[in-house]
A = this chain, B = another copy of it.
Amino acid sequence: MPRIFPVDEARPDSGPPPIFERIAIVGFGLIGGSIGLAVKRRWPSALVVAVDRKDVIETAMRMHAADVAGDDLVMGAECDLVVLAAPVRQNIALVEQLPDYLPGAALVTDVGSTKAAMMGAAAALPGRLAFVGGHPLAGAAVGGVEAARPDLFDGRPWMLTPGTGASDAQVGSLERFVEGLGAVPRRMAAADHDRLLAHLSHLPQLVVSALMASVGEAVGEGGLALSGRGLADTTRLASSPPGIWRDILQTNAAEIARALDELIARLQAVRAGLDRDEAIDRLFTAAAAWKRRMPPR
């Protein structure tokens, strides 16, 4: 196996010793790029290897979010941590290719918004490639590497879903790594994660998209011109591009369908109670009580 890149003698050896010396980030968008920037912030001596399309890695290099970059998975060959940061179904496809490109031992993780499908795919990895699923609960209104920020994960939860192939020590290393990026690690079973995110993220996104489409069709542009801040805030997520959502929805369809069924049943009950003070009071009181228990933002 040829050395893909020599260890760069010129890199600073100041700063704390990195938990992982060479980190490949495959898929260098908002999350991948922010991981690169956060790694360089915390461990200047760690080597960040960006793998993505040519135009993306050019931007990544300009932003100093990576030390070396290329458009080939072979770039990850000598890394001790490989982070899959493409959309979910691409990550799943990548996991199947990894054994051909990574001849040595490595810890592999991902940052996808659904976990059970990915854990299923990762179960087929050879023993030398330990896998721990990951999902940083952080984002921004605009995606892409240009929007990457070193502080994107500061104070945010980072879910970790250990599989069967990773030792406790490896999970612990990954926990300390995401702490170094500013996040708060949180272990959870993949199925629990997917059920939780179906409610916290996937259901709200679908409801907002459906509401926006319904309201727009019903009142048209002239009607929307009369809308206020309430509808504007409620529908902020309606701007989400379909790209990553295709993958999220299809890899978590069963949990999302269950959550949608619950909500549809509740809306039918609301409709049946429109003429009764008690039914209205009950709905508004329950909603306000849960809203108060949400973290202040």
Interface set of A (CB-CB < 8 Å, partner B): 137-139, 156-157, 159, 186, 196, 199-201, 203-219, 221, 223-242, 245-246, 249-250, 253, 256-257, 259-264, 266-268, 270-271, 274-275, 277, 280-281, 283-295, 297
Instruction: Identify whether the interface residues of A are mostly helix, strand, loop, or mixed.
Output: helix
**A234 & B234 in contact (Cβ 8 Å cutoff):** yes
Leading 9 A-B pairs by shortest Cβ distance: A216-B290, A242-B284, A209-B287, A238-B291, A212-B287, A238-B287, A232-B297, A253-B274, A213-B286
CA distance A227 to B139 in the complex (A): 12
A250 contacts which chain B residues (CB < 8 A)? 274-275, 277, 280
Are A263 and B267 in contact, with the CB atoms below 8 A? yes
The answer to whether A226 touches B267 (Cβ under 8 A) is no
Contact of A219 among B196, B215, B284 (CB under 8 A): B196
Once the chains are docked, how many angstroms separate the CA of A264 from the CA of B239?
A: 21
Name 21 interchain pairs, CB-CB below 8 A, sorted by A: A138-B228, A139-B230, A199-B223, A200-B226, A200-B227, A201-B228, A211-B263, A212-B290, A214-B262, A214-B263, A214-B266, A215-B290, A224-B290, A224-B293, A227-B294, A233-B236, A241-B288, A242-B283, A250-B275, A250-B280, A253-B274
Are A208 and B239 in contact (CB-based, < 8 A)? no
- Give Cα A214 to B228, complex, Å: 25
Q: Please judge, given known A-B contacts A200-B226, A210-B270, whether A239 and B288 are in contact too, CB under 8 Å.
A: yes
A283 contacts across to B, CB distance below 8 A: 206, 209-210, 213, 242
Contact A224 B264 (CB under 8 A): no
Most buried by B among A139, A207, A253: A207
Count of this chain's copies in the oligomeric assembly: 2
> Quick one: which of B227, B267, B277 contacts A207, CB cutoff 8 A?
B267
Closest-by-CB residue of B relative to A292 is B239
Q: A284 and B245: CB pair below 8 A?
A: yes
Q: CA–CA, A263 to B213, complex, Å? A: 9
The answer to whether A221 and B293 have CB atoms under 8 Å apart is yes
A285 nearest CB neighbor, chain B only: B242
Tell me the nearest residue of chain B to A237, going by C-beta: B230
Assess whether A218 is in contact with B199, with CB atoms less than 8 Å apart. Answer: yes
The answer to whether A245 touches B280 (Cβ under 8 A) is yes
Instruction: Please name all residues of chain B whose beta carbon is closer than 8 Å to the beta carbon of A203 when the two chains form the complex.
Output: 211, 214-215
- Contacting residue for A239 out of B138, B215, B291, CB 8 A: B291
- A234:B210 contact, CB within 8 angstroms: no
